[in-house]
């Protein structure tokens, strides 16, 4: 019964999303109070029914109901519970259902919070309804997760072992919360254009800001999780591979970051009004393109579940309609927008403008690097790949330039800033940058220009953030949001520079009892034992970390075989001091108890993800500040609006 119940719920959800679309768009008119009420109700109903469909599928996975084809193909009774649950989105159909669930959650939030007034909310719900309807149709027609299998097999085919990992269990929901969160910004932007009333056009950026923030926080966490997973799971010690699938999540993040900054100017002074609308459209468009790249199977990767051409075609049409429709609306309505207040050349607005220019340029580099191989293949069948050297030449210098300018932004006043006093107030940060650079040159070898520069810039960013916090002592927590997010960039930069410049690597074949050294560590190989996990068999290496002839710790890298899935993979062992990782991977069996062991020492590696966490924390501070201001000072924000 569960499969049919889920299918039925999804059909109801489709009907409700169409109602929400129709009523929401109708509610954009001035006197359509009834339609607005219907749209709000439909948004809640949509959440209930999509939630029911998703819950049904999850139940089928948890109870290993192999009469549902999807469960039989992607799960097994032997998996631990957490991977039965994460198996729901560890496949194409389930992940699309998760996408729609997140969309429904955002729609319900939009309806519940009613930000930016009734008409704007209603129009945003209308657009959100159109998106939901399109995606539910996509699921029902090309990727139905509830298809039955008769007879039901006794055991399922299992889940790719690469995905059986706690980090990766959370990675897709995080990324989707980010991707789809940008849909709320997109819907608000389209709504502002649709409503056409001057007030709505001014308020939409403020109304959509919490959604932009949630999306940005989720994207930041999702990308960090994905990179962390690649680091400890793939066994190469790298943290970012410029894989097209990684790029697909990085592009919305870059544009989303630009949007957060540009929207700030739009809601404060009304500057960049048109540009912010365009960014909101671009951000979600890139999310859709990312989904297309990842899910349609045009890229070869772990992520491409589907290689069904009808799905790719359907998503392409969906993207074309969403992006084309939004851009057409933009072209039609944007020329009527009033310009914002003027600003001087030296001002906060100019700083935000530069931020946007650099971020968009960086995104363009990633975009070209990701899509050029696909285009070339389609044009003349030449197969190429674009690797790290390309990004080192394009993305890196642009992003570096952006980081240099970051500390100036918060120091320049709106409309008119004072560059000299901003510069003077940054002297201590400059000092910290110099100290960092000198320390790197003096203490750590090998000396590299890139690492020295990176440390200087990181010192510059973190120093400026410390100054910001000091200056605003006693202010509300949300005042520190920007400082925290910018400091996070510096922390990540330290990690990236440390691992890239000073990583040491050792690769040897060892017999039991033999010793190897890597960086400052001495390791003794104590042989391999056969272990049995819940759904795998592992060769577990016992490697002792030696300190003055005594065993200080034992590390256990594994090589696992998953019999159900017929696959095997590595499980690395990482010992971290917080500032330095010792990273071990077990390689091939060379006979007579001898194994290849790969060891890395990665200085500062944990800072890469810590920085991401700090950035996300900055986003959270800003978000809670927003929601509290709204809850406690409605008059104040109304007055602020009136004053503008």
Partner 1 sequence: MNAKKKRRLAFAAALIVAGAGAAVLIVSALKDNVLYFRSPTDVADKVVREGVAFRLGGLVEKGSLHHGAGAQVSFTVTDGKSAVPVSYNGVLPALFREGQGVVALGAVGNGGTFEATEVLAKHDEKYMPPEVVESLKRSGRWKEGEQ
Binding site for partner 1 (CB under 8 A): 160, 162, 235, 271-272, 275, 300, 302, 339, 342-343, 345, 350, 353-354, 357-358, 360-361, 364-365, 368-369, 372-373, 382-387, 389-390, 393-394, 397-398, 507-509, 559, 565-570, 585, 587-588, 590, 596, 598
Q: Output 356 or 465, the one with its CB closest to partner 1.
A: 356
Q: Output 137 or 371, the one with its CB closest to partner 1.
A: 371
**Cα Rg of the chain, angstroms:** 26
Q: Output 62 or 346, the one with its CB closest to partner 1.
A: 346
Q: Output 389 or 446, the one with its CB closest to partner 1.
A: 389
Nearest distance, CB of residue 588 and partner 1, angstroms: 6
Q: Output 335 or 578, the one with its CB closest to partner 1.
A: 335
Instruction: Give CA separation, 387 vs 242, 287, 495, 605, in Å.
Output: 7, 22, 21, 21
C-beta separation of 110 from 20 below 8 A: no
Q: Output 136 or 362, the one with its CB closest to partner 1.
A: 362
Q: Output 383 or 550, the one with its CB closest to partner 1.
A: 383
Rounded Cα distance between 74 and 66, Å, is 10
C-beta separation of 19 from 117 below 8 A: no
Nearest distance, CB of residue 73 and partner 1, angstroms: 11
Rounded Cα distance between 301 and 160, Å, is 12
Nearest distance, CB of residue 397 and partner 1, angstroms: 7
Tokens of 227: 């990179």
Q: Output 72 or 218, the one with its CB closest to partner 1.
A: 72
| Angle (CA) 289 353 497, round 5° | 70
C-beta separation of 78 from 534 below 8 A: yes
Rounded Cα distance between 181 and 283, Å, is 10
Nearest distance, CB of residue 553 and partner 1, angstroms: 23
C-beta separation of 546 from 520 below 8 A: no
Crossing angle between the packed helical segments 395-405 and 449-471, to the nearest 10 degrees: 30
Rounded Cα distance between 60 and 56, Å, is 6
Residue 447: count other Cβ atoms within 10 Å of its Cβ.
12
Tokens of 441: 């040159």
Nearest distance, CB of residue 260 and partner 1, angstroms: 18
Nearest distance, CB of residue 57 and partner 1, angstroms: 23
Nearest distance, CB of residue 587 and partner 1, angstroms: 4
Nearest distance, CB of residue 253 and partner 1, angstroms: 18
Nearest distance, CB of residue 385 and partner 1, angstroms: 5
Tokens of 57: 């599928």
Nearest distance, CB of residue 398 and partner 1, angstroms: 7
Q: Output 50 or 205, the one with its CB closest to partner 1.
A: 205
Q: What is the DSSP string of 71-135?
A: HHHH--TTS-HHHHHHTTSSSHHHHHHHHHHHHHHHHHHHHHH-TT-HHHHHHHHHHHHHHHHHH
Identify the helix (H) or strand (E) that includes residue 398: helix 395-405
Q: Output 166 or 566, the one with its CB closest to partner 1.
A: 566
């Amino acid at each position: 019964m569960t499969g049919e119940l889920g299918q039925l719920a999804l059909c109801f959800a489709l009907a409700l999303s169409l109602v929400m679309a129709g009523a929401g768009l109708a509610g954009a008119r001035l006197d359509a109070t009834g339609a607005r009420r219907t749209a709000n109700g439909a948004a809640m109903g949509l959440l209930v029914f999509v939630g029911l469909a998703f819950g049904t599928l999850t139940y089928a996975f948890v109870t290993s109901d192999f009469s549902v084809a999807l469960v039989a193909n992607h799960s097994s009774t032997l998996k631990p519970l957490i991977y039965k649950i994460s198996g729901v989105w560890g496949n194409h159909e389930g992940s699309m259902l998760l996408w729609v669930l997140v969309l429904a959650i955002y729609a319900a939030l939009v309806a519940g919070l009613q930000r930016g007034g009734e008409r704007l909310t209603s129009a945003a719900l209308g657009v959100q309804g159109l998106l939901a309807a399109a995606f539910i149709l996509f699921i029902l027609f090309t990727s139905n997760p509830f298809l039955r299998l008769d007879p039901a097999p006794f055991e399922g085919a299992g889940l790719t072992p690469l995905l059986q990992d706690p980090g990766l269990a959370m990675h897709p929901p995080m990324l989707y919360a980010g991707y789809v969160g940008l849909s709320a910004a997109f819907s608000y932007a389209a709504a502002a254009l649709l409503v056409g009333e001057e007030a709505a056009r001014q308020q939409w950026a403020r109304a959509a800001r919490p959604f932009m923030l949630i999306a940005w926080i989720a994207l930041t966490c999702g990308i960090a999780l994905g990179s962390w997973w690649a680091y400890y799971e793939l066994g190469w010690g790298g943290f970012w591979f410029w894989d097209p699938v990684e790029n697909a999540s990085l592009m919305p993040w870059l544009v989303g970051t630009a949007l957060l900054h540009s929207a700030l100017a739009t809601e404060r002074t009304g500057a960049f009004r048109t540009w912010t609308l365009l960014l909101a459209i671009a951000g979600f468009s890139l999310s859709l393109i990312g989904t297309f790249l990842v899910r349609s199977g045009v890229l070869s990767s772990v992520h491409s579940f589907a290689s069904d051409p009808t799905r790719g075609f359907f998503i392409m049409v969906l993207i074309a309609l969403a992006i084309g429709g939004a851009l057409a609306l933009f072209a039609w309505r944007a020329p009527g927008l009033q310009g914002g207040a003027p600003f001087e050349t030296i001002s906060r607005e100019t700083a935000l403008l530069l931020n946007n220019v650099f971020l968009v340029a960086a995104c363009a580099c990633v975009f070209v690097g990701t899509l050029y191989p696909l285009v070339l293949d389609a044009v003349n069948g030449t197969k190429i790949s674009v690797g790290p050297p390309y990004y080192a030449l394009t993305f890196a210098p642009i992003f570096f330039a952006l980081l240099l300018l970051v500390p100036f932004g918060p120091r320049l006043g709106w409309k008119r800033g004072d560059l000299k006093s901003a510069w003077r107030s940054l002297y201590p940060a400059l000092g910290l940058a110099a100290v960092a650079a000198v320390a790197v040159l003096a203490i750590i070898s090998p000396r590299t220009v890139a690492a020295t520069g990176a440390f200087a810039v990181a010192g510059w960013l973190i120093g400026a953030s410390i100054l910001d916090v000091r200056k605003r002592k006693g202010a509300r927590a949300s005042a520190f949001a920007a400082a925290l997010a910018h400091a996070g960039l510096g922390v990540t930069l330290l990690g990236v520079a440390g691992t890239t410049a000073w990583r040491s690597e050792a690769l040897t074949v060892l017999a039991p009892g033999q010793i190897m050294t890597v960086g400052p560590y001495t390791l003794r190989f104590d042989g391999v034992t056969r272990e049995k996990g819940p759904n795998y068999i592992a060769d577990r290496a016992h490697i002792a970390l030696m300190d003055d002839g005594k065993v200080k710790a034992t590390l256990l890298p594994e090589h696992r075989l998953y019999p159900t899935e017929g696959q095997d993979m590595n499980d690395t062992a990482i010992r971290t001091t917080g500032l330095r990782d010792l990273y071990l991977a077990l390689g091939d069996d060379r006979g007579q108890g001898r194994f290849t062991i790969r060891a890395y020492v990665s200085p500062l590696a944990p800072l890469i993800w810590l920085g991401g966490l700090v950035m996300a924390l900055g986003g959270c501070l800003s978000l809670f500040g927003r929601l509290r201001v709204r809850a406690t000072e409605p008059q104040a924000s109304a007055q602020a609006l009136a004053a503008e």
